[in-house]
Copies of this chain bind each other. A is one copy, B any other.
């Protein structure tokens, strides 16, 4: 409740803007723009370069010229998605067309700006993108602990967890798995302990966050 400082430190820690543009003057202009509002910047001149760099550990976004030497901006977007890197992307283009724009936006781009780009538009877009990334990271972090604890469960404990979280009583779980009720109770206790759940409600929310399928679970209309 009172650890705001710690939490902000953990999930923020100075956002960074990543720029990919083959035009040195553009890189310089963008770098200056972002630094003028106190943002950290890292600039690259090609898609290959940024793919070699390690993905940032802080809230960040990508400012990407759609026309790049070698792989285009859209290709890079696809590559990053394939590599499970979800840094929000802002495209800039001098002569883009509508199909290209649609494709980029459908693939999750946060914005698509046309040159000449107004400084304020760019800053607004970057602000929104970083905010989005921060939220995504927070959400990711909040379930990563749950996920790792789940990994620590034995196979049988997971079986029991799935059925308990779907609302079955211990005796029903036992019948379903061919066990004695007492066995289920013991596993159940171990599950609560290992998962760090302080109540059944906690446990249910954890399993839902993990996307564990419910063997029996209905919210009937």
Q: Which A residues fall within an 8 A CB radius of B?
A: 93, 96-99, 101-102, 105-106, 111-112, 114, 141-146, 164-169, 196, 198-202, 204-206, 208-209, 217-221
Contact = CB atoms under 8 A, between A and B. Distances in A.
A83 B126 CA distance: 30
Given A169-B199, A201-B204, 13 more contacts: A101-B102, A102-B112, A105-B105, A142-B219, A145-B221, A164-B201, A166-B201, A167-B198, A167-B202, A198-B218, A200-B200, A205-B217, A209-B219
Given A98-B93, A105-B105, A219 B204 contact: no
A56 to B, nearest CB: 20
Q: Looking at chain A's contact residues, is the secondary structure mostly helix, strand, loop, or mixed?
A: helix
Nearest to A112: B102
Contacts of A165: 201
Contact of A167 (B96, B105, B201, B208): B201
Contacts of A221: 141-142, 144-145
A166 B205 CA distance: 10
A111 B169 CA distance: 47
A9 to B, nearest CB: 13
